[in-house]
Amino acid sequence: MKRQASWSLLLIMILLVTGCAGKRELNELALVMAVGIDKGEGENAFKVTAQIARPADARGQTGAPSGQTGEPIYTIVGQGESLFDAIRDLSSISSRNVFWAHNQVIVISEELAKEGISQVIDFFTRNPELRMRTWIVITPEEASTLVSTVTGLELIPGEAVNKLFRYGKISTVAPNTQILDVQAAYLSQSSQPIMARVTLKEVMISNKKPEKGPTIKQVDLAGAGVFKEDRLVGILKPEETRVLMLFTEGLQSGVVTTACKDKPERTIGVELRDQMFEVTPHLKDGQISFTAQLDAYAMVVEAGCPFTIDDQKQVAELEKAIEKELKKEIDTTVDKLQKEYKTDVIELGKVFQNEYPGYWNQISDNWAEVFPTVDIKAFVNVEITDSVLLWEETNSGKKENSAD
Amino acid sequence: MTSVEEKNTFFRDLQDNEELMTEILGGSVDLVKRRITFHEHKNVQALCYYTDGLADVTHIEQFISDLLYKGNLLLQHATLPTDNPLTLLKEHMLSSASFQVIKEVGQAVDGILSGVAVLILDGSNDVFLIQTKGWEKRGVDEPQTEQVVRGPRDGFTESIRTNTALVRRRIRDPKLRIEQMTVGKRSKTDVNIAYIGDIVKEGLVEEVKKRINDINIDAILESGYIEELIEDAPRSPFTTVQSTERPDKVASSLLEGRVAIFVDNTPFVLVVPSFFWQFLQASDDYYSRWMTGSFFRAIRYLAFVLSLTLTSIYVMLVSFHQEMIPTQLILTIASGREVVPFPVLLEALLMETAFELMREAGLRMPKPVGQAVSIVGSLVIGQAAVQAGIVSPFMVIIVALTGIASFAIPNYAASFSIRLIRFPLLIAAGMLGLLGFSAMFALLAIHALTLRSFGESYLAPATPFQPKDQKDSIIRFPWWKMQARPMGVTGDEKRVGDNQFPEPPNTDPYSDEAGNRDEDNQKGRDQSKRKKSRHIIKLKGDDEE
Amino acid sequence: MKVQISNGMFFALIINMIYAKAIGVTQGSMAREIGGDIWISTLIATVQGTVIMSLVIFVIRRMPEGDLIDQSERLFGKWFGKFVALITFIFFLAAFGPIMSTFIFHLKDYFLPEAPILLFICAAFLIGTYAIFFGLEVIARMALIGVFSIIALNILLMLGTLPEFDIRELRPTFQMGFIKTVWASRHHNADWAMATIMAGIILPMVGDKKSWGKMGFAGIAYGMVFVIMWPILEAGVLSPETAAQYIVSCMQMARSAQIGYFVHRYEMIMVAFFALSMLTQIMMSLLCASVAMQKILGLKDYRKVIIPTALILSTFGYWINFNKNRAVDFLEGWWVYISVGVAVVLPMMILVLGFFFKKKLKKKIVAEEAK
């Protein structure tokens, strides 16, 4: 017993002496909040921009008074032949260890994305310090500019972009693309990656010079980039992205605005909810086709012209108009993807594979050529069920005067 | 001295006896010797020994005056000179309850030292022991270490008789046995073993007696001595013997088939065997309503986990696994740590030490000073240390939370052992992160799993998992559900009868049972049984339809 | 002195023995071969595992006082017994490689990437030797806690990943054909083999002889229920391609699990639960190897050989895991053949030989009882 005790004690001591391996104190870490990746100078070079948080400035004084700079972020740029090289370059600039686990967003410049991002995907999924739930976006600007732009209500822009994604469900203008999804789509045989797209827009009005209008640039999340394998091949506009999200994310809600029948200069807005979207593949004589069926309930949220849900005829007309609008949206987007970009980001291959695995095995190798030729029919069915709080039409009380 | 050791019984001659006693007892000031003379003519003499302070002097005075009066009467009327005066006295004095005749010297000496008065008469080798024990003692008070909101307020005292009486008052069962033992070569401390004969697990009492008999020590000053000498895991930080100040706790343990060990001169009574989870259970659990009882118990389990692991987990997260902390939180922690010069482990050890210091100081100081200590301590540690940038505010919160959690554990001994094992865990976590933490935790868990307390697994009923005993582990089941005594009890396994679920008479006017109310009341508890059977019949009827 | 464990503990040991490696490493290996059908392959392996397990239970039941090694010793004498003991030892020696791989891949790669491998081997060595010094009962009780932690882990993971679940990834079934799917089940079979041979060593110490079979099957059934969740989720949440991409795909899933938007980054809690089952596996393989070693040397007590055995096993574990390629190649190649081979051939051989030499066996038992 005694000998055993001393043995274990000795072993514990050895463990403890060799210990402290991999230990890094929190205040020795530079917490990266966002990272931008650009093409570097020269062939195959990368430029990595890291947005690092200054905790004392980001949170204010919580403990002992410490010197504050008033600038919550610290952005530095590293260059290298590879991503790893560029990141090593960062650590020669940063006074603290660069720590990636709290990175919120990866921004890739479109310039780089057009040349292929497989190296980026590999690096960000191979490294244990990086989280799979990080947002990954493309931008037409320099990624380094975007990363160093102070945006949103948060002190740290990385957090602001993160919240943009999280609470962006209402606007539904960009897909929720995390590195996890991009990786899965890239690895998959039957689908292609997409990425959300951010731009800089002059939308913020300076408090000091309000008369000059919006002059300050903010990060705007809208649209998506579609990829063919690892290359960016095209951009989808926000309304097209909505269609894309129907296919990929099972979007639940959406907003449609349509012109009034009587007064074409005025519009009616409806909110779609409980959308059900189903794509069914068909195989007939070696000919592949798909039908896409969208069912949704709608709620009138705004009416520029008098509207009451009590009027069945009016409701039916509005439903028709919305259906037409939606069908058009779906058709144009799908057409664009098929004819222009020729990439299956809407997971049709996966749907087809599920239904006809045998035939899929024959065509899987040249699905890229088959996809632009397949026929896709969209059917939309909308039912207006709600008019929120109002029942009567919103009409002027001085009706007689205005009528004449 | 040799003569004394050889001499077992008293002499016939008073002179010899006096010499003998002087030789044994020596000249301690608290030993009182009084000479009594009966009947001046016949000049029968007697000696009375007692210990001042241990014996009740008024009682002795009373007795002696009684004795003188009766002795004189007897001697006057003694017809036969051969009559032994002692025999006569004995016959006449037996009316007194606290009166005993003995022969052995040793017994007499032990008696004198434990507060009994010894009367030696001339011309007899029998001596009287007069029960005159009576010393200053503390009254029954509220237990200091285990307080309850609802429940009895009496606690054990330093007097063993009072203590056994407190338990006896709770269990008026002839099967409650209290056995006398004496431990300590010099202290000769009374140790009593209590158990309920037909509930206690077979062999347990014998084992306890054997272990106590094997003790060879000069003095027992507190039950802690006994605890350390009989426990199963002397090298373990865990306590495998429960000590309590509460008579109700002892009574309930006895009813669960355990054995209580009372030790004289201490209010702490030992209960064996004991289980780890027991230390997290308070008497309140059983006295308050079962739902609240269970809730408080759950809080205490949480307190246990927190006090054991919280600091280690914090240190581990902040110095190794920063990716596990939500981003918002880590920025806050980082901003608090911005100016702290120490590694987290050192900071944690610093704070833990400061906390232990404050606790110890507050405990030892007189109460008013103790308060001052805690005020100064909390001000200095809580405010100034953070302001000075020595520790981070987060660490203060963590250590304070850990401290408070450890105070929520009802048993002090257990609370201390958890406090102890927290340090290896903390150091391992701070040195090796998750690997250190999980390895040390596994080692501790394996160690705890190997422990036994008087043959019972220490971690029962969680592991080995005993489904039947789960009614009193995480949730305290209501009494009408908790029918069986814990496992390992021999005989009389049921403690609560069947159908104890209270049901008021049915007053629902729309129910067909309303008319039968009187009948129901008469039948009392059979009601529920009846109801069930009727229900079954109804179901059968449905099937037929 | 004879240690006894309850049937419930036996049940818990079976579950713990297969769980740790099966949920992550095995699924990755299978996904590399058959993609989305990993859950079918897991099911098939479980059926095969049941067959081998019942074989072992049947064999041991014939002579319930001794384990596989004792039985073969009684059949053909000392040297054959030693030979079987040697095979068992090699089996657990080989098993220790993948077990340590699982341990290191989970803890080192994801939590302490900068810590040396030696540290993990030392920790396993320390805990393992400490636990088996106290014998089977302690490990078995640990396994009971392990079952609870497995349940907690499964629930946590399910909460965190179900919203992302995409049934389309699982369809169509038998993408790579039936035969390939069955063939891939060998990876999970290797896990079952470990539980089977362990049962062959510890069964004589399990209390109630009559319900061995029942508890064995219950263990397999529950083990399957706990394990099968993982391939289904891994394929449905991560996509089979991603699962195949990683060495430890379950960890990748745990890392991306999130409950709502605010509870995420909690894989450490899951790994803490996982560690219990992992450690049980380490302890059991050390224990079984020590018992085999004791029988080879013909000692009375296995405690004397704990340290040397553990040293041999740890050295092997270190060597194998020093190079990740070697480690993965071993656990996907050699180990599968060794484990499945031993788990099938050894009981089968003893069973068949036992039939031929039934009389001899009976005579021996009678003779021994007469003594």
pLDDT at A96 over 70: yes
One-letter amino acid for residue B152 of the chain: P
Cβ–Cβ under 8 Å, residues A158 and A105? yes
**Core vs surface per residue C243-257: b (16+ CB within 10 A) or e:** bbbbbbbbbbbbbbb
At B309 the pLDDT is 93
Cα of B358 vs its chain's centroid, Å: 27
Mean pLDDT of chain C: 88
At B416 the pLDDT is 86
CA distance B276 to chain A (A): 23
pLDDT at C211 over 90: no
Paired strand residues for B32: B50
Q: Give how far Cα B227 sits from Cα of A153, A383, B262, C90, C276, Å.
A: 64, 79, 11, 48, 33
Q: B116 and B73 in one domain?
A: yes
Domain A238-404 has CATH 3.30.300.210: yes
Whose structure tokens read 């008021």? B504
At A64 the pLDDT is 67
Q: B520 and B371 in one domain?
A: no
Which of these three, B211, B240, B274, is where a domain ends? B274
**DSSP letters for A286-307:** TEEEEEEEEEEEEEEEEESS--
- Which is it for strands A135-139 and A105-109: parallel, antiparallel or unpaired? parallel
CA–CA distance, C292 with C287 (Å, rounded to integer): 9
Does residue A17 belong to the interface with chain B, where contact is any CB pair within 8 Å?
no
Using CB atoms within 10 A of its CB, is residue B195 exposed (0-12), middle (13-18) or buried (19+)?
A: buried
CA–CA distance, B386 with B330 (Å, rounded to integer): 18
Most B-contacting residue of A13, A16, A25 (CB-CB within 10 A), to test interface? A25
Q: B230 and B96 in one domain?
A: no
Q: Is residue B441 part of a domain?
A: yes
Q: Per 3-state DSSP, what percentage of chain A is helix, strand, and coil (rounded to 5)?
A: 35, 30, 30
CA–CA distance, A128 with B434 (Å, rounded to integer): 15
Straight-line distance from the first to the last Cα atom of chain A, in angstroms, rounded to the nearest whole number: 107
Give the confidence band of C157 by pLDDT, cuts at 50, 70, 90: very high
Does residue C322 belong to the interface with chain B, where contact is any CB pair within 8 Å?
no
Judged by CB atoms closer than 8 Å, whether chains meet at A353 and C239 is answered as: no
Q: What is the DSSP letter of C115?
A: S
CA distance C266 to chain A (A): 12
Which phi and psi (to 5°) does residue B423 adopt? -70, -50
Instruction: Give C-chain residues touching B450 at CB under 8 angstroms.
Output: 134, 138
Judged by CB atoms closer than 8 Å, whether chains meet at B449 and C138 is answered as: yes
User: In CATH, what number does C7-370 get?
Assistant: 1.20.1740.10
Q: What would the mean pLDDT of A54-69 be, rounded to a whole number?
A: 75
Angle (deg, nearest 10), helices C38-62 and C68-76:
50
Torsion angle, alpha carbons of B54, B58, B59, B64, to 10: 110
Instruction: Give A-chain residues touching B323 at CB under 8 angstroms.
Output: 101-102, 129, 131
Cβ–Cβ under 8 Å, residues B166 and B140? yes
Most C-contacting residue of A28, A183, A192 (CB-CB within 10 A), to test interface? A183
CA–CA distance, B62 with B72 (Å, rounded to integer): 16
Residue numbers of chain B with a pLDDT score lower than 50: 1-4, 514-515, 517-545
Q: B449 and B341 in one domain?
A: yes
Instruction: Give A-chain residues touching C133 at CB under 8 angstroms.
Output: 4
Straight-line distance from the first to the last Cα atom of chain B, in angstroms, rounded to the nearest whole number: 100
pLDDT at A257 over 90: no
Q: B249 and B363 in one domain?
A: no
CA–CA distance, A219 with A199 (Å, rounded to integer): 6
Tokens of C42: 């897991």
CA distance C7 to chain A (A): 30
Q: What percentage of chain A exceeds 90 in pLDDT?
A: 29
Q: Is residue B116 part of a domain?
A: yes
Instruction: Give C-chain residues touching B462 at CB under 8 angstroms.
Output: 145
Mean pLDDT of chain A: 86
Which region, left, alpha or beta, applies to residue A70 given φ > 0 means left and ψ of -120 to 50 means alpha?
A: left
Cβ–Cβ under 8 Å, residues A15 and A27? no
**DSSP letters for B219-283:** ---SHHHHHHHH-S-TTSSS--SEEES-HHHHHHHHHTT-EEEEETT-S-EEEES--GGGGG--T
Q: Give how far Cα B490 sits from Cα of B115, B167, B197, B465, B487, Å.
A: 40, 21, 10, 20, 9
Q: B382 and B417 in one domain?
A: yes
At C327 the pLDDT is 93
For B323, nearest residue in chain C (alpha carbons) = C265
Judged by CB atoms closer than 8 Å, whether chains meet at B464 and C141 is answered as: yes
Q: B297 and B268 in one domain?
A: no
The Cβ of residue B317 has, within 10 Å, a number of other Cβ atoms equal to 22
For B326, nearest residue in chain A (alpha carbons) = A102
Q: Give how far Cα C202 sits from Cα of C5, C95, C167, Å.
A: 9, 17, 41
Does residue A19 belong to the interface with chain B, where contact is any CB pair within 8 Å?
yes
Per-residue pLDDT tens over the stretch A9-28: 666 666 555 556 667 888 88
One-letter amino acid for residue B252 of the chain: S
Structural domains counted in chain B:
4
**Core vs surface per residue B231-248: b (16+ CB within 10 A) or e:** bbbeebbbbbbbbbbbbb
Per-residue pLDDT tens over the stretch A208-219: 888 888 988 999
Instruction: Give A-chain residues touching B431 at CB under 8 angstroms.
Output: 15-16, 19-20, 23
At B520 the pLDDT is 46
Q: B429 and B307 in one domain?
A: yes
At B543 the pLDDT is 43
Which phi and psi (to 5°) does residue A215 adopt? -120, -20
Instruction: Give B-chain residues touching A60 at CB under 8 angstroms.
Output: 335
CA–CA distance, B471 with B285 (Å, rounded to integer): 13
Using CB atoms within 10 A of its CB, is residue A85 exposed (0-12), middle (13-18) or buried (19+)?
A: middle
pLDDT at C369 over 70: no
**DSSP letters for A326-379:** HHHHHHHHHHIIIIII---TT-HHHHHHHH-HHHHHHHGGGHHHHGGGSEEEEE
Give the confidence band of A250 by pLDDT, cuts at 50, 70, 90: confident
Cβ–Cβ under 8 Å, residues C337 and C45? no
Judged by CB atoms closer than 8 Å, whether chains meet at C172 and A353 is answered as: yes
pLDDT at A299 over 50: yes
- Which is it for strands B31-38 and A375-386: parallel, antiparallel or unpaired? unpaired
CA–CA distance, A18 with C5 (Å, rounded to integer): 38
Q: What percentage of chain C exceeds 90 in pLDDT?
A: 41
CA–CA distance, A122 with C38 (Å, rounded to integer): 24
Sign of CA dihedral B225, B227, B232, B233: negative
Q: B269 and B297 in one domain?
A: no
CA distance A106 to chain B (A): 16
Closest to C113 (Cβ–Cβ): which among A22, A178, A355? A22
At B201 the pLDDT is 84
Using CB atoms within 10 A of its CB, is residue C355 exposed (0-12), middle (13-18) or buried (19+)?
A: exposed
CA–CA distance, A15 with C122 (Å, rounded to integer): 7
Q: B530 and B425 in one domain?
A: no
Closest to A26 (Cβ–Cβ): which among B333, B339, B432? B333
- Of the ranges A386-395, B127-136, B513-522, C23-32, which is most confident? C23-32
Of the candidate ranges A179-193, A309-323, B473-487, the one whose mean pLDDT is the lowest: B473-487
Per-residue pLDDT tens over the stretch C57-105: 888 888 778 888 888 888 778 888 899 999 999 999 999 999 999 999 9
Tokens of A340: 């222009």
Q: B199 and B320 in one domain?
A: no
Question: For chain C, what are the domain ranges?
Answer: 7-370
At C325 the pLDDT is 93
| A402 vs B292, more confident | B292
Judged by CB atoms closer than 8 Å, whether chains meet at B326 and C262 is answered as: yes
Tokens of B240: 């495998």
What interface predicted TM-score (ipTM) does this complex get?
0.90
At C316 the pLDDT is 95
In sequence order, what are the residues at sequence separation of 6 or more whose Cβ sits closer than 8 angstroms to the Cβ of residue B289? none
At B95 the pLDDT is 59
At B81 the pLDDT is 55
CA–CA distance, B417 with B242 (Å, rounded to integer): 13
| A21 vs C154, more confident | C154
Angle (deg, nearest 10), helices B105-113 and B14-25:
50
At B532 the pLDDT is 46
**DSSP letters for A149-178:** ---SSSSSHHHHHHHHHHTTTTT--S---B
Per-residue pLDDT tens over the stretch B24-73: 888 788 888 888 887 666 677 888 888 888 888 888 888 888 777 877 77
Tokens of C190: 């290797």
Q: What would the mean pLDDT of C235-258 be, rounded to a whole number?
A: 88
Instruction: Give C-chain residues touching B449 at CB under 8 angstroms.
Output: 134, 138, 141-142
Cβ–Cβ under 8 Å, residues C308 and C107? no
Per-residue pLDDT tens over the stretch A337-370: 998 998 888 888 888 888 888 888 888 888 888 8
Per-residue pLDDT tens over the stretch A76-94: 999 998 999 999 899 899 9
At C44 the pLDDT is 92
CA distance C114 to chain A (A): 5
CA distance C240 to chain A (A): 8
Closest to C261 (Cβ–Cβ): which among A18, A132, A166? A166
Per-residue pLDDT tens over the stretch B290-337: 999 999 999 999 999 999 999 999 999 999 888 889 888 899 899 888
Residue ranges, CATH 3.30.300.210, chain A = 238-404
The Cβ of residue C122 has, within 10 Å, a number of other Cβ atoms equal to 20
Domain that holds residue B528: 514-544
